Amino acid sequence: MFDGLRETIKAYKTRDPAAKSGVEIFLLYPGIHAYISHKIAHWLYVHRRFFLARAVSQWSRFITGIEIHPGATIGRRFVIDHGTGIIIGETAEIGDDVLLYQGVTLGGTGKDTGKRHPTIGNNVLIGAGAKVLGPFKVGDNARIAAGAVVLREIPPESTAVGVPARIVRIAGQKPDFASELDQIGYTDPVAVEMSALRGQLEALEAKLTEMSRNSSGL
């Protein structure tokens, strides 16, 4: 556990430009506190100490504002930036080197049984306020923009934006998340379609107006 904690603190220093030292991260970052609490709660959960596991997770939620179910599986170097409002469900699985921003939900739709929550691959970035809902996979190296609502599988190496989320880019190379932290610099495909429809409507109105004037002239 201590080796995992050291490499997680190092990941925070790499990805958070505001981090000044490992001591600061360990003592003051709620994401680290939630990570440590989850390790304890998950151990209790695996050993069928369900009440104690939930007690630890609920205490952690009270202190950090981050709710992680004890049953969730979390990989190495897991980084939470700020973290308030993050919710991770019981059957969620999170790979290595994942970065979550505040307000992210890894939840269910309420329709599924058994595996109800998403599986997040390695090197995934999920932007502030994004909701990933359902028992599907978000592929390795994927990026989900701030405010997106993801309701279906996201392929590896892709970027998803919008409500509901749509794929706007599939990159051929592994992204460098340490330097590419832009969560909002993507065009919403729905907005593009609406803009195109608006342009067509304006052109049609102009044509009808011209036809009306020509008719009046006759």
pLDDT computed for residue 192 by the predictor: 66
Q: Tell me what pLDDT residue 171 has.
A: 63
Q: Topology of domain 2-187, per CATH? A: UDP N-Acetylglucosamine Acyltransferase; domain 1 (2.160.10)
Q: Which of 4, 24, 74, 76 is nearest to 46 (CA)?
A: 74
| pLDDT tens across the length of the chain (218 residues) | 667 888 899 889 888 888 888 899 999 999 999 999 999 999 999 999 999 999 999 999 999 999 999 999 999 999 999 889 999 999 999 999 999 999 999 998 877 678 999 999 999 999 999 999 999 999 999 999 999 999 999 999 999 998 888 888 776 445 454 445 455 555 566 666 777 788 888 888 888 887 777 776 65
pTM, two decimal places: 0.75
CA distance between the termini of the chain: 87
Q: Please tell me the distance from the alpha carbon of residue 141 to that of residue 132, in angstroms, as a whole number.
A: 16
Query: Which pair of structure tokens corresponds to residue 22?
Result: 């490992």
**Taking the CB of residue 198, how many other CB atoms lie within 10 A of it?**
10
What single-letter amino acid sits at 163? Answer: V
